Chain A
Amino acid sequence: MKKVEAMTVVSQRTIANNIYECSLKGDLVSVMNEPGQFVHLKVTDGIEPTLRRPISICSVDTNERTFTMVYRVEGIGTKKLSHKLPGERVNVLGPLGHGFPMEELKSESHCLLVGGGIGVPPLYELAKQLTSKGHSVTAVLGFRSKEDVFYEREFSRLGPTFVATEDGSYGEMGFVTDVIGAKQLTGDCYYACGPRPMLKAIESNMPIPGFLSLEERMGCGIGACLACVCDMKNEAGYRKVCSDGPVFKAGEVVV
């Protein structure tokens, strides 16, 4: 049976403009095995905000029974989350959804990881797991501006890492697709997470197989309310971003 748990905040800090890194401790960490999954958080006991907030899992430390989230403060939910101090509790439902598949990779594959903004975090746990399985990774991380950049150093430890900013204030100027083109980056497959226009561009430009992680407004987070559906490309059906995704094979759903 699935569970919810009041997990304890062990750390909370700002790492970029409006971007927070928060670690939580508890038993649910033991089932957080798949990079790309997310947790659904109730940040207050009251009715404001009413709904949970889906946040991707950025890294997992099973020995310490902690996992880390990197999130952007957007509205009242994430704002309240950012005010949580070490020792306080957060109600966690998860891990939810299907993450980035790694089973079909041939041994010692080279993987291109493409992240945009707040889509970068789930790729970090993926990078850790891929490299620990003997694969190699190259990361391309896109941000709006210099003050938005985070986790460049963390990714650099795992493989070559390129940063692009839209205004050119840090790294390469332009979008992640510009960097991929200019540096002629490729691999056996790619994994991407970021805003829809970025995912669209990646999906249509990359000649190699890949996986895309989607974001959508969610209700329940477990596949019951049908708030976060997306259309499939080749048939009449639909997929639920929360429970069928959030990661889909490139070409499976309409991005």
Chain B
Amino acid sequence: MKMNVSLPGLDLKNPIMPASGCFGFGKEYSEFYDLSKLGAICVKAVSPLMKRGNPTPRVAETPGGMLNAIGLQNPGLESVMENELPWLERFDVPIIVNIAGNTIEEYMDVARVVSKAPNVKAVELNISCPNVKEGGIAFGTDPYIAKELTARVKDVCHVPVYVKLSPNVTDIVTIAKAVEEGGADGLSMINTLLGMRLDLKTGKPILANETGGLSGSAIKPVAVRMIYTVSQQVSIPIIGMGGVTNADDALELILAGASAVAVGTQNFVDPFACPTIIEELEEKLKDYHVDHIGELTGRSWRPSLQPLTTR
């Protein structure tokens, strides 16, 4: 077993998982492959009550990526507990529930309940959604609030807590350290970068929300840089994400400092993205002087004696 990864709350058979918001609650992708192949599944953000999301258009394409402003549309906590999570129990895969709220209490309310579901092995606090007016990113840009939110959710949550960081900050290290102090068990990074496109026929924004979150290949260098920087400053593990389209991209995030990797936008391009990356990654590892994929985490900044590959 070269590919298994052990993280707080999560025993992953491989380090690849779909990223929150890019995989719904798994049903659609289960029509393409057996979801048990995945390292984990990070489901769409769950809020206490159903959220309708933003008006359309909600997506706009950009060079090497896309902007989205879905607005955290989801069926709400009760429906997720009754319908979505039980349905996922048929697969041998740990579930990470992404949580969104307008107030600290709302995050706590969702965490308290979802962390009792038998297949939920961790939660991910979404303090970085750029597409909602309240909550979301407000919690992700102020280190004091981010720390307090983390600490208070930790008090009521029955599983480890990962905090998803926003790249839309002056200094991501400050936020990362703050949530680590607040008791976070791990970090997820990065969420989307705030961006915008205009329609040249109307002169107006393409997205009904005007601004949206940029994802896809275009943001991978930003993810690599931020994971590289943060992983040297904190001692909790990082689930890396941002523009991963293939095994090479995943390896780059791992070498930068990620222990596991989430795949987002690429699921839309290729519904088989995750299982394909898992297979490719296993093949690639044969070229490396390692017994286990964990040895590659942070290799970019760790002192090393041997060359990385045999080729």
A42 within 8 A of B: yes
A225 x B59 contact (CB < 8 A): yes
Partner of B268 from the list A216, A225, A236 (CB cut-off 8 Å) is A225
CB pair B61–A47 under 8 Å, yes or no, is no
Contact of A222 with B by CB under 8 A? yes
Asked if B22 and A216 make an inter-chain contact with CB atoms under 8 angstroms apart, the answer reads no
Q: Is A227 within 8 A of B272, CB to CB? A: no
Flag if A52 contacts B268 (CB, 8 Å).
yes
Q: Does B267 contact A (CB under 8 A)?
A: yes
Within the complex, which residue of B53, B64, B265 is in contact with A226, where a contact is CB–CB below 8 Å? B53
Could you say which of B56, B61, B245 contacts A216, with CB atoms under 8 Å apart?
B56
B195 adjacent to chain A (CB < 8 Å) = no
Check A50–B65 contact: CB distance below 8 A.
Answer: yes
Asked whether A224 is an interface residue with its Cβ less than 8 Å from the other chain, the reply is yes
> Across the interface, do A220 and B68 meet the contact criterion of CB distance under 8 Å?
no
Q: Which residues of the other chain, B, contact A230 by a CB distance below 8 angstroms? A: 56
Query: Which of A48, A217, A220, A236 contacts B56 (CB under 8 A)?
Result: A217
Across the interface, do A224 and B272 meet the contact criterion of CB distance under 8 Å?
A: no
Which single member of B65, B216, B267 contacts A224 (CB below 8 Å)? B267
B82 at interface by CB-CB < 8 Å: no
Q: Is A219 an interface residue (CB 8 A)?
A: yes
Q: Select A51's contact among B28, B70, B269, beta carbons within 8 Å.
A: B269
A229 beta carbon closer than 8 Å to chain B = yes
Once A220-B28, A229-B56 are accepted as A-B contacts, the answer to whether A50 and B265 lie under 8 Å apart by CB is yes
B61 near A51 with CB under 8 A, answer yes
Shortest distance from the beta carbon of B57 to any chain A beta carbon, whole Å: 5
Contacts of B265 on A, CB cut-off 8 Å?
50
The residue in chain A whose Cβ has the minimal distance to the Cβ of B58 is A227
Q: Are B56 and A238 in contact (CB-based, < 8 A)?
A: no
Q: How far is the CB of A218 from chain B (nearest CB, A)?
A: 8
B9 sits at the interface (CB 8 A): no
Tell me if A101 is interfacial: C-beta within 8 Å of chain B.
no
Q: Is B271 a contact partner of A2 (Cβ separation < 8 A)?
A: yes
Q: Is A2 within 8 A of B58, CB to CB?
A: no
Nearest to B73 among chain A residues (CB) is A226
Shortest beta-carbon distance from A72 to chain B in Å: 15
Please determine whether B57 and A217 come into contact, CB atoms closer than 8 angstroms.
yes
When distances are taken between beta carbons in the complex, the residues of chain B under 8 Å from A221 are 268
Q: Least Cβ distance of A81 to chain B in Å?
A: 15
Contacting pair A50 B64 (CB below 8 A):
yes
**What are the residues of chain A within 8 A of B21 when measuring CB–CB?**
225
Whether A219 lies near B270 (C-beta < 8 A) is: no
In the bound assembly, the distance between CA atoms of A238 and B22 in angstroms comes to 19
A50 touches B53 (CB 8 A): no
Is residue A223 within 8 Å, beta carbon to beta carbon, of the partner chain? yes
Assuming the A-B contacts A51-B61, A229-B56, A230-B56, are A223 and B268 also in contact, with contact meaning beta carbons closer than 8 angstroms in the complex?
Answer: no
Quick check: A224 and B269 within 8 Å, CB to CB?
no
Check A243 for interface membership: any CB of B closer than 8 A.
Answer: yes
User: Is B33's CB within 8 Å of the partner chain A?
Assistant: yes
Within 8 A of B (CB), among A1-18: 1-4
Report which residue of A218, A229, A230 has the largest number of chain B beta carbons within 10 angstroms of its beta carbon: A229
Q: Among A2, A225, A229, which residue has its beta carbon within 8 angstroms of that of B68?
A: A225
Shortest CB–CB separation between residue A110 and chain B, in angstroms?
Answer: 35
26 contacts between A and B (CB under 8 A): A2-B32, A3-B32, A47-B217, A50-B217, A50-B269, A51-B268, A51-B269, A93-B271, A216-B57, A217-B60, A218-B59, A219-B59, A219-B268, A220-B267, A220-B268, A223-B24, A224-B22, A225-B21, A225-B22, A225-B68, A226-B53, A226-B70, A226-B73, A227-B58, A227-B68, A238-B52
The 6 closest A-B pairs by CB, nearest first: A224-B24, A220-B268, A224-B28, A227-B59, A222-B28, A219-B268
Give chain B's interface residues, CB within 8 Å of chain A.
21-24, 28-29, 31-33, 52-53, 56-66, 68, 70, 73, 216-217, 245, 265, 267-272
